[in-house]
Amino acid sequence: MNLDSAGKKKPQRLKERLREVTSAAILEAAERVLQEQGMTAPMEVIAARAGVAVGTLYNHFKDRHALVEELRESHRRQLTEDVKAAEVRGAKLPPREQLTEMLQAMVSAWSKIYLVIKSTEQLPNAKTRAEGRERVAKLFAGVLSRGRTQGLFAADPDGLQVVALMGLIQSFFALATDDPKAMPKELLAERVIEAFIHGAAPHTHRKARP
């Protein structure tokens, strides 16, 4: 074993870990500060909250836009991980129950993304919305396909079911945020499922609302 080469690799790995820890601390601080003060919050305040020098902050993020984008992207990654984990947990459940589990995970993660969007006042553009639809389509493709196979969902040759599902999630989430009494977040996933599966048509077999 070459001790010299091993000695050179270990500091590099440690440096990378320290960089990851520092970046995470900056992102956590940025989220809190932006929620408190909005997009005009000084970068110096974010650095101070993270316990780093301003120069260190800029070594990790070249500007405010890059910092906010990474903050949003970190939540998107967490959303993907949480929904996939829920899919695995519900793999043996009927499609409806599995879909509910996945939506509950999505709503929880989405709440954090919404707070970032609200505090920075940066609404998603057409490209971001398209990427969101694609991401949701991939996440829910399995459970929707299983539901179609079992006759729970209709055939979907045009791939519009995921668009309808995402539209319901966004609309119901907005209602839950604006009027929690009308749409409690703990019931949001079940309400989305009910609307997605049954729509506005009367069904005698519809489950009673919890």
List the CATH number of the domain containing 91.
Answer: 1.10.357
Here the tokens at position 139 are 């996440």
Here the tokens at position 155 are 């055939």
Q: Do 70 and 23 have their domain in common?
A: no
Last-in-domain residue among 21, 44, 61: 61
Note the pLDDT tens digit of each residue in 37-66.
Answer: 888 889 999 999 999 999 999 999 999 889
Give the pLDDT of residue 109: 81
Average pLDDT, the chain: 84
Q: Which domain holds residue 149?
A: 64-210
> Are 67 and 39 in contact, with CB atoms under 8 Å apart?
no
Q: Provide the whole-model pTM.
A: 0.74
Percentage of the chain exceeding pLDDT 70: 84
| Residue 209 pLDDT grade (very low, low, confident, very high; cuts 50, 70, 90) | very low
Give the pLDDT of residue 123: 63
Give the pLDDT of residue 198: 81
Q: Do 57 and 75 have their domain in common?
A: no
Instruction: Fill in the DSSP letter of residue 52.
Output: S
Q: Do 176 and 81 have their domain in common?
A: yes
Rounded to an integer, the average pLDDT of 10-32 is 84
Give the pLDDT of residue 57: 94
Provide long-range contacts, Cβ within 8 A and 24+ apart, for 47-56: 50/22, 50/25, 50/26, 51/25, 52/22, 52/25, 52/26, 56/22
Q: Do 164 and 88 have their domain in common?
A: yes
Q: What share of the chain is helix, strand, coil (3-state, %, to 5)?
A: 75, 0, 25
Domain count, the chain: 2
d(CA 96, CA 17): 41
Rounded to an integer, the average pLDDT of 101-130 is 76
| Residue 35 pLDDT grade (very low, low, confident, very high; cuts 50, 70, 90) | confident
CATH assignment at residue 50: 1.10.10
Q: Do 126 and 163 have their domain in common?
A: yes
Regarding predicted confidence, which is higher, 34 or 99? Answer: 99
